[in-house]
């Protein structure tokens, strides 16, 4: 299904959704679109121009390679008594349902004035830029984290420098259907304290 264009930034923010790879159409996103998402990411703010986001893009047959890596990391021993072939296959095939999967990395520098928390915050802002830009362009996205995202093996697989952090994978595709309605468990008023004097 092709773009659901959005007229304003606020509409885009409200309507952006998590769309899982099983709800992607299977179509491939043109490289220029992916490049536009990455350019948007690069405009996220940082403390001290550290620009700590690192992205590793998988597409084509690299998606199956990524899937095999994830499934093997999850269950390294196919001869194990409790080996779950269905789970293995599900993990292995998930990236292949996407057009592109972007490995998300945070480069942690040596500047003691910029704590890790700030670099992780900046990377999350960069990912939000990707997500919102994708939605505005009629693309669907999903940030997958979980235990496998944060391992040393994943950091190495992504080719991130030692000491850098892997923060998971951003799945991209075209939505096969209208994205779901969003929900929040509570309104913003439950999360804000105002001080007037
Ligand atoms: C840092 C981060 C990690 C996430 N990891 C997962 C994940 O591993 N699995 C998952 O189903 N959703 C994951 N999500 C998506 C959330 O579940 C989703 O954003 C939330 O349910 C709200 O839905 P919405 O994005 O449609 O508003 C992640 C979101 C963020 C911001």
| Domain ranges (residues) in the chain | 16-59+96-178
3-state secondary structure 72-83: HHHCCCCCCCCC
Residues 6+ apart with CB under 8 A from 106: 52, 53, 54, 119, 120, 123, 164, 165, 167
| 4, pLDDT greater than 90 | no
**pTM value > 0.75:** yes
| Number of the ligand 1 atom closest to the C-alpha atom of 149 | 8
CA 135 – ligand 1 centroid, Å:
15
| 7, pLDDT greater than 70 | no
| Number of the ligand 1 atom closest to the C-alpha atom of 19 | 26
**Structure confidence by residue, pLDDT tens digits, 92-126:** 999 999 999 999 999 998 888 899 999 999 999 99
**Structure confidence by residue, pLDDT tens digits, 55-66:** 999 999 999 999
Average pLDDT, the chain: 95
For residues 173-184, average pLDDT = 94
pLDDT value for 110: 82
pLDDT value for 13: 96
CA 45 – ligand 1 centroid, Å:
22
**Structure confidence by residue, pLDDT tens digits, 21-31:** 999 999 999 99
| 41, pLDDT greater than 60 | yes
Q: What is the dihedral of CA 18, 20, 21, 23, to 10 degrees?
A: -100
Q: Domain 16-59+96-178: which topology?
A: NADH Oxidase (3.40.109)
Which residues lie with the beta carbon below 6 Å from any ligand 1 atom?
Answer: 17-18, 143-146, 168, 182
């Amino acid at each position: 299904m092709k773009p659901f264009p959005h007229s304003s930034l606020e509409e885009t923010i409200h309507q952006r959704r998590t769309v899982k790879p099983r709800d992607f159409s299977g179509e491939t996103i043109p490289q220029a679109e992916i490049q536009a998402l990455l350019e948007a990411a690069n405009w996220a703010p940082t403390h001290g121009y550290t620009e700590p986001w690192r992205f590793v893009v998988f597409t084509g047959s690299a998606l199956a390679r990524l899937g095999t890596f994830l499934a093997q990391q999850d269950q390294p021993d196919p001869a194990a008594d409790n080996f779950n072939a269905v789970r293995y296959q599900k993990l292995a095939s998930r990236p292949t349902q996407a057009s592109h999967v972007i490995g998300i990395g945070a480069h942690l520098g040596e500047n003691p004035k910029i704590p890790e928390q700030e670099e992780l915050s900046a990377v999350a802002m960069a990912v939000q830029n990707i997500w919102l830009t994708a939605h505005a362009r009629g693309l669907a996205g999903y940030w997958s984290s979980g235990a496998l995202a944060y391992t040393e093996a994943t950091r190495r697989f992504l080719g991130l420098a030692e000491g850098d952090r892997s923060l998971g994978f951003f799945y991209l595709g075209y939505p096969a259907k209208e994205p779901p309605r969003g929900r929040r468990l509570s309104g913003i008023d439950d999360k804000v304290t105002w001080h007037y004097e």
